[in-house]
Chain A
Amino acid sequence: MTNPVVLEAKNLVKYFPTVSKGLLQRSMDSVKAVDGVSVQVRAGQTLGVVGESGCGKSTLARLLMRLLPPTSGTVLLDGADITSLTGRELRAVRAKIQMVFQDPVASLNPRHSVGQIIGTPLKFLKENSASGAREHVQELMELVGLNPEHYNRYPHEFSGGQRQRIGIARALAVGPQVIVADEPVSALDVSIQAQVLNLMEKLQSDLGLSYVFIAHDLSVVRHIADEIIVMYLGKVVESGSPSEVYGTPSHPYTQALLSAIPVADPRAAGTHKRMVLVGDVPSPIDPPSGCRFRTRCPRAQDLCALEEPALIDRGQGHPVACHFPG
Chain B
Amino acid sequence: MSELVLQVKDLKVSFSTVDGVVQAVNGISFDVREGQTLGIVGESGSGKSVTASAIMGLINRNSADMSGSILLGGLDVLTAQEREIRALRGREAAMVFQDPMSALNPYYTVGKQIAEAYEVHHPKSSKKERQLIALDMLAKVGLPKPSECIDEYPHQFSGGMRQRIVIAIALVNNPRLLIADEPTTALDVTVQAQILELMMNLQQEFGSAIILITHDLGVVAEVADEVMVMYAGQTMESSKVQTLFDTPSHPYTRGLLGSVRSLDNSERGALHTIAGNPPSMISLPGGCPFHPRCEFASSMDDLCSSVQPTLRVLPTTGSESACHLNDDQLLSLGRGVIHD
Contacts and interface: CB of A to CB of B under 8 A. Distances in A.
A36 B6 CA distance: 55
A264 B245 contact: yes
Given A260-B189, A261-B218, A277-B190, A162 B261 contact: no
Interface string B211-253: 0000111111111000000000000000001100100000000
Interface string B194-208: 101100000000000
Contacts of A195: 273, 275
A71 to B, nearest CB: 26
Contacts of B190: 52, 256-257, 260, 276-277
A115 B134 CA distance: 56
A194 B260 CA distance: 8
A87 B75 CA distance: 69
Interface stretch (A92-100, A211-219, A302-310): A211-219
A280 interface: yes
Interface stretch (B118-126, B264-272, B303-311): B264-272
Interface in B143-183: 144, 158-161
Interface residues of B, number: 47
Contact of A222 (B44, B222, B263): B263
A193 B44 CA distance: 13
Given A191-B273, A219-B262, A223-B268, A266 B189 contact: no
A211 B241 CA distance: 37
Contacts of B257: 264
Interface string A65-83: 0000000000000000000
A274 B160 CA distance: 18
Contact of B193 (A162, A264, A274): A274
Per CB-CB distance, the 10 closest pairs between chain A and chain B, nearest first, are A262-B218, A52-B188, A189-B43, A194-B271, A260-B193, A191-B274, A194-B259, A194-B273, A219-B261, A280-B158
28 contacts: A53-B159, A161-B277, A162-B277, A190-B215, A191-B255, A191-B274, A194-B261, A194-B271, A194-B274, A195-B273, A198-B273, A222-B263, A223-B268, A243-B266, A246-B266, A259-B193, A260-B190, A262-B219, A263-B218, A264-B257, A265-B221, A266-B222, A266-B241, A269-B221, A276-B194, A277-B190, A277-B194, A280-B160
